[in-house]
Amino acid sequence: MERDISKSQRIPICAVGIWLIWLLLVPGPVRAQEQASAAPVVVSTVRQEWVAENIVLIGTTEAVHASTVAAEVAGVVEAFSVREGDYVEKGALLAKLGDREIRLAMDQSTARLDKVRKDYERARSLLAEGLISKQMHQDLSLQLTLAKADYELARKRLEDTSVMAPISGVITNRSVKVGDLVTTTKPSTPLS
């Protein structure tokens, strides 16, 4: 089925066709402006290079793990083996406190333990022979237990005169110096 195009439909189709031909052939003012505003293009060869990147930030840093070290016994600082800014491993010696009095207590508890141990061994053999009462043997057993506890306490206090690093880190501040009296409540060194 063919359709005839009427005369009234031919005129607009012809007008559109003429207008398209005119656009293609005649450079108009709009196209001249587009050509005039085109930016110049610079061509370069692509190459690989290192680029320095500096970032300046303002802020506060905070350690993931931090500890304030304090002595477990009171005493006078005799030696300090670290300075501010030093890196220390966990368990490193930070400071040594005076231990003369504690060492004497350790010697005393050692002598007491040795004596009670010998008395207990002698009492055990005498109890086996029936020469002492069970009560006397139990008293010596209790004295031996107490002497061991005194010895362990004196040994612990002597060990505590060496202030050790609880974590690995950097000494950020040293608030005591040689000759200062430290107590169990006075922090001596922050460690981060």
The 10 Å Cβ neighbour count of residue 151 is 19
For residue 101, the SS3 value is helix
Q: Which residues contact 75 (CB under 8 A, 6 or more apart)?
A: 97, 98, 99, 102, 161, 181, 182
Residue-range domain boundaries for the chain: 65-98+161-192
Given 3.40.50.300, 1.20.1250.20, 2.60.120.260, 2.40.50.100, which CATH number is that of 65-98+161-192? 2.40.50.100
**What tokens appear for 139 in the block?**
């008293």
**What tokens appear for 169 in the block?**
């880190």
Q: What is the pTM of this model?
A: 0.60
Choose among 70, 144, 153: nearest CA to 112.
Answer: 144
Distance between CA atoms of residues 148 and 101, nearest Å: 19
Question: Which tens digits make up the pLDDT trace of 73-127?
Answer: 888 889 888 888 889 999 999 989 999 999 999 999 999 999 999 999 999 888 8
* Percent of the chain with pLDDT strictly greater than 70: 81
Pairing of strands 67-70, 87-88: unpaired
Can you say how many angstroms the Cα of residue 191 is from the centroid of all Cα atoms in its chain? 9
